[in-house]
Amino acid sequence: MNPIRLSCLWMLLTVFVTNNAFSALPKRCVAPAQPNESVGCYISNGDNDVLFYSPPIDSKNTINGLYDILQKVYGVQRIYWRAAQIDEMLYYSQIRSENLVQADLFNWLGYLYKNFGLNKYGVQAAHDRGMTVWGVAALFDHGGTAEIDSSRGIGPSQMESYIRLQHPEWVPVDRYGIRRMSGPICFAYPEARKALISLHIKLATSAGYDGLMFHTYVEQCDARFDDEFGYNEPIVAEFKKRYGIDIRTQNFDPNDLAQLQGEYLTQYFRELKAAFKALSIKVGLFLNPKEPERLQRWLADPSVGDSGRIHVDWRRYIREGIVDELLVYCGGDPYPVVNKILDQAKGTSCKVSILHSAAYPEQYQHFASQGVIRTFAGSYKDIEWGYIEQQPVSALKGDDFIAKLSVLQQMADGRTPPDLRKIIEATKDPHVMVRRRAVVALAELKYSDSNTITALENCLNDAENTVLCYAINTLTKLGDSGSIDKIYSTLDKHNNAMINLAAKIGLSTLTADRTDDILRGLQYPNPEVRAVVVSAMAGTEPRPVTLPALIKLTKDPSDKVRWNVANVLGGFGTPESLEALYSFLDDTHPTVRNMAALKLSTLIRADSGKYGDFWHKVFAKLRSKFATYNDKYNGSDSDWGWRCFGEALERMGSDGIETLTEFLNQKNDKLLADHAWRILYVKQSGNKFIPITPQEAEKGYEQYLKHCLN
């Protein structure tokens, strides 16, 4: 979901416009429908809901505006609406609020869905326009074990399905029965398949989808090699029955295991299709273009198959009619796979889609005539640029809001001479998309005269969140200190994840001579505002003059403020900041303690000579803290809070590794030994995979069997 781990598609596909030098006109990435061509748009809820620079879907007005553009400019006939996966997260999963990065996101999504029903409205609005809507759901990504994300210092993994939590025996397990995988639920259990079908029926029927499309990647950096998990009892028993091999103790062909697991996946589609057929709901599946017989890999890091090695028998799905549509995703050359599906699907009802924004190359023009649905991502900025054709300036006085978007974009990119008065007037237009585009035009043209600043400041009173976001972000770059104060006042009134992101990105660009603006924000009465201002300082050059204010905030009553302070203090490296980080090791909130351990150990590491007595004080504290996560510990972070302290110890060099080894070797506390083993032999990043070979993993598991089971 970056502030968001829900999808990395927006990072790969977002197009940035040119500046006011007009050295090169921006090129559209999305092509409108050609004659007789079927076109769809994949909207990634959770991303478009919070990334203010993506086409907005944060209100009924913005959804209506976006859908009108999609239909009238691009000829879209199908919406792929990822709200189905968000619904699973919000209504059928445990949200771990200790994850201080994701908490704002889930609060915001919950606010939009529960108060305004935007998840369902996105379906209704499409149907009202004669478009079909397929919900996009996760087939394997049902959340993670709490520990996996904790090494990032952000708290536990953001969420986990109640199905996994209530039935841990259904979670894929390693061949020793020690580690359980993040994300999937094992399809080998008939009861698990039944529970998932019940969930998917609820997701599909509650929103009124025409179909449910499943992606197959997992957004958790848990697995270390493709075959690490999937050794559950039904699979072990069936494999031994077929091949006479115990996959838990004997060598075997991984492809045979992948085929067997693929059979359980096929059986799931049979059962799901039967249940959906009675409800007139269709079934779809994303395909991996690089390896269509394998599950998708997460595009943020494709080094490990994070859903496991499971055979995707898509040809059988077509033959048996158990899947109604196959959508070839990105991450490889999609064209050969589409041709194969077209050949296989001849004479059947199975449809083919392709994630593809531009017009097809000449040699693939037959895709359109053969009914392939060209689907583009709803993250492209140029979707909001209005009509493809040039529009007259007089359109700004008309009723066609899409034509107005065109004129404003033409002025921003230099095809039409900019008229500041008309752009400012457009910031008050009745249509939200026009007001938003007018603010973007002012940002791109970089006007900073008093009339422009006044217009932008007036936009801070706009009724639409998406206009506020762009006004905030633009004013941080073009406005003065008075503008910053107005931004703080706006954050005080309208605090949410989308606005916070816009303000954070904007405030992070303030130059060194604007540090007083930052200081005022650090002292703002509302803790939510303070948290945004501190977060804007992360990843930027330290501002030494702010250190006293930051240290004062180490006593802030807000957990979110203190966590952000711990994150920012990690960039200073002064005696005062180090002592402040040390004090955070005893903070009342476990995520603050984790961030402090991460930052402090990263700064001083194994350099005991440089830091002297302070190093030994930190080392002793880290050792003591890690040791508290034992058999008797019952804190709220018992299943994840130890990870950062253990990794912090390891960063301290040979002394830390020796201490962890002692914890592993002791015989009095099995849980403490287990934690030490995971630090030493199960490396985690949270941000990326740490691949190892099965042989390397085997050596680590041998250490577990030796030290943690006796």
Residue with tokens 């007789």: 36
What string of H, E and C letters represents the secondary structure of 395-431?
A: HHHCCCHHHHHHHHHHHHHCCCCCCHHHHHHHCCCCC
| Alpha helices in 252-400, H assignment, sequence order | 254-277, 314-320, 335-344, 366-369
pLDDT of residue 27: 84
Among the ranges given (9-13, 222-226, 484-488, 701-705), the one the predictor scored with the smallest mean pLDDT: 9-13
The residue-averaged pLDDT of 509-529 equals 97
Q: Is the pLDDT of residue 203 over 90?
A: yes
Per-residue burial over 210-225, b = 16 or more CB atoms within 10 Å of its CB, e = otherwise: bbbbbbbbbbbbbbbb
pLDDT in tens, 124-170: 999 999 999 999 999 999 999 999 989 999 999 999 999 999 999 99
Report yes or no on whether pTM surpasses 0.75: yes
pLDDT of residue 477: 94
Task: Name the band, by pLDDT with cuts 50, 70 and 90, for residue 708.
Answer: confident
pLDDT of residue 12: 35
Residue 282 per-residue DSSP state: E
Rounded CA-CA distance 166/163 in Å is 5
Q: Which CATH class is domain 31-384?
A: alpha beta
Among the ranges given (1-5, 465-469, 474-478, 487-491), the one the predictor scored with the smallest mean pLDDT: 1-5
pLDDT of residue 332: 93
Task: Name the band, by pLDDT with cuts 50, 70 and 90, for residue 300.
Answer: confident
The domains of the chain are located at 31-384, 605-710
Cβ distance 443 to 474 under 8 Å?
yes
pLDDT of residue 22: 32
Task: Name the band, by pLDDT with cuts 50, 70 and 90, for residue 24.
Answer: low
